[in-house]
Amino acid sequence: MARKNRDDIASWNVEPEPTLCPLCERVIPDDQKDNHHLVPKSKGGKITVCLHRVCHSQIHAIFTDTQLAKKFFTIAALLEEPAMQTFVNWVKSKPPGFSDSAKESRQSSVLGRGRKP
């Protein structure tokens, strides 16, 4: 079993790099971290990215799993969607620890998550 190098004291007090949300580009507090499967697990996805919980919730409020698997399986594709752009522009002005419930966008019925009339 290898011993710890006690001479490397400088590394003992190093703060870890803050995690930035790839959608809103804000620092993610530890209690707000959510892993998002770029392709939903139900569709065979394995790759995840760490997002703010509020950003993650908004993705699933706007898009269906099928839409995420077929068209919105990258951060760039998500950011190209006008409903996500509106949300990201709004949430960027909030503090990193901001938490809110996801809201259905007005376009969600066009995108597939809206209620049937």
**109: enclosing H helix or E strand:** helix 108-111
Residue 72 lies in a domain: yes
Domain tally, the chain:
1
Residue 56 lies in a domain: yes
Residue 89 lies in a domain: no
Residue 91 lies in a domain: no
Residue 31 lies in a domain: yes
Q: Tell me the C-alpha distance between 53 and 28, whole Å.
A: 9
Residue 60 lies in a domain: yes
Residue 109 lies in a domain: no
First to last CA, the chain: 66
Tens-level pLDDT at each residue, the chain (117 residues):
566 656 566 666 777 788 999 999 999 998 999 999 999 999 999 999 999 999 999 999 999 999 999 999 999 999 999 999 999 999 999 988 887 765 565 444 445 554 433
**37: enclosing H helix or E strand:** strand 33-37
Q: What range defines the domain where residue 79 resides?
A: 20-84
As given in the structure block, the two tokens for residue 116 are 């049937």
Residue 1 lies in a domain: no
